Amino acid sequence: LPKLASGEIVGTVAVSEGLHAAHPRNIEAKFAGGKVSGVKQPVADGAAASVAIVAVNTGGSLGEQ
């Protein structure tokens, strides 16, 4: 976090998928077996980002996703 805060590196957040509202019930990207799979909409600074926070479905109940 210090490098993000200082501007030394760039980060991005990937939540939206397709035309659906960004809501946990609409997340189809999955995390299983240590891997993320799925498709997200392009994100701001995606090409320049050193780190990304990606919303995924882990297969748990809504409160656990």
Task: Look at residue 7 and tell me if it is in a domain.
Answer: yes
Where do the DSSP E strands lie in 1-65? Answer: 11-14, 30-32, 35-37, 51-54
Task: Look at residue 50 and tell me if it is in a domain.
Answer: no
* pLDDT for 19: 82
| Burial per residue of 13-36, b for 16 or more beta-carbon CB atoms within 10 angstroms, e otherwise | bbbbbeeeeeeeeebebebeeeee
* pLDDT for 25: 83
Q: How many domains does the chain have?
A: 1
Spell out, as residue ranges, where the chain has pLDDT lower than 70: 62-65
Domain limits at 14?
Answer: 1-42
* pLDDT for 20: 75
* pLDDT for 55: 92
* pLDDT for 65: 46
* pLDDT for 35: 95
Task: Look at residue 15 and tell me if it is in a domain.
Answer: yes
d(CA 34, CA 52): 16
Report residue 5: phi and psi, to 5°: -60, -35
Q: What is the pTM of this model?
A: 0.74
Task: Look at residue 32 and tell me if it is in a domain.
Answer: yes
